[in-house]
């Protein structure tokens, strides 16, 4: 059996991580134009990096097959994240300028973030941590990679006395995994968009998760 290594994220991993999250989250569902998709992948990546205070990857045969990023508000410092935030703004600007030429291609992206903002307003102040990014190569699922990465970030949250975290996800992802791990669905909404010209409905979810400081299992969020 091929061994899987777990280590901290490195700068040289960024291209692989961007591709991994693109495939795992079906970014083409939001952005159909290929050039814009490349910009979107980078914007998404730097958005996560600008927030994350913990980042770890799973590597197999020299290839990144899993990634997790988390945030503990108590551990966040502005200065180390400034470069990532500036990169995020740069790619957001590029996306806005290029997206004007093909506005239909990013309508789903804008609607998704409208829903995120609505969920956030309803639960303002409830959380002191975030599961910022979590993706595992579809060919490597079932090997325990996701559980190991989640265990690592949970240990980090415990170290920083984080009490409850949230995450956004949708029906393009393996959202059932979170429910099996004790996450509780707090909000959901469906909206319509197109992929390759074909309309379909996408469900968007907000999950909450309470960090149990006494053992390895997450308590039910209430």
pLDDT digits (tens, 9 = 90+) for 172-218: 888 889 999 999 999 999 988 766 566 678 899 999 999 986 654 44
**Using one digit for the tens of pLDDT, what is the confidence trace for 31-46?**
777 888 899 899 999 9
Q: Which pair of structure tokens corresponds to residue 147?
A: 């559980």
Phi, psi of 18, rounded to the nearest 5 degrees: -60, -40
How high is the pLDDT of residue 218?
46
CB proximity list for 118: less than 8 A, separation 6 or greater: 189
Distance CA 125, CA 89 (A): 25
By the 8 A CB rule, do 184 and 205 touch?
no
**Confidence band for 101, pLDDT divided at 50, 70 and 90:** low
The whole model's pTM is what? 0.88
Tokens of 131: 């599961």
Q: Are 47 and 88 in contact (CB under 8 A)?
A: yes
- Per the listing, tokens 């265990």 go with 151
C-alpha 157/C-alpha 164 separation (Å) is 9
Cα distance between residue 46 and residue 144, in whole Å: 27
Tokens of 130: 């975030």
Bridge partners (DSSP) listed for residue 195:
198
CB atoms within 10 A of CB 105: 18
| Dihedral over Cα of 22, 113, 154, 13: its sign | positive
**pLDDT above 90 as % of the chain:** 64
Name the percent of the chain in helix, strand, coil, to the closest 5. 50, 30, 25
Asked if 59 contacts 9 with a C-beta cutoff of 8 angstroms, the reply is no
pLDDT tens, residue by residue, 141-174: 888 999 999 999 999 999 999 999 999 998 888 8
Secondary structure (3-state) at 117: helix
124 neighbors 69 (Cβ within 8 angstroms): no
Residue 106 CB neighbour total at 10 angstroms: 21
Domains, the chain, with CATH or none: 4-210 (3.40.630.30)
Beta bridge partners of 203: 190
């Amino acid at each position: 059996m091929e061994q899987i290594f777990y280590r901290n994220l490195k700068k040289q991993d960024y291209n692989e991580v961007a591709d991994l999250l693109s495939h795992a989250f079906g970014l083409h569902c939001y952005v159909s134009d290929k050039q814009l998709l490349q910009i979107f992948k980078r914007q998404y990546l730097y958005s996560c990096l600008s927030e994350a205070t913990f980042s770890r990857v799973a590597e197999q045969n020299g290839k990144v097959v899993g990634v997790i990023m988390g945030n503990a508000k108590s551990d966040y410092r502005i200065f180390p994240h400034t470069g990532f935030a500036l990169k995020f703004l740069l790619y957001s600007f590029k996306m806005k300028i290029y997206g004007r030429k093909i506005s239909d291609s990013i309508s789903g992206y804008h609607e998704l973030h409208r829903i995120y903002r609505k969920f956030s307003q309803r639960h303002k102040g409830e959380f002191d941590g975030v599961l910022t990014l979590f993706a595992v190569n579809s060919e490597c699922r079932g090997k325990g990679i996701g559980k190991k990465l989640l265990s690592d970030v949970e240990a980090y949250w415990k170290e920083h006395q984080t009490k409850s975290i949230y995450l956004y996800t949708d029906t393009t992802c393996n959202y059932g995994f979170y429910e099996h791990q004790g996450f509780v669905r707090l909000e959901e909404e469906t909206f319509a968009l197109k992929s390759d010209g074909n309309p379909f409905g996408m469900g968007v979810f907000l999950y909450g998760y309470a960090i149990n400081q006494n053992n390895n299992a997450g308590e039910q969020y209430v």
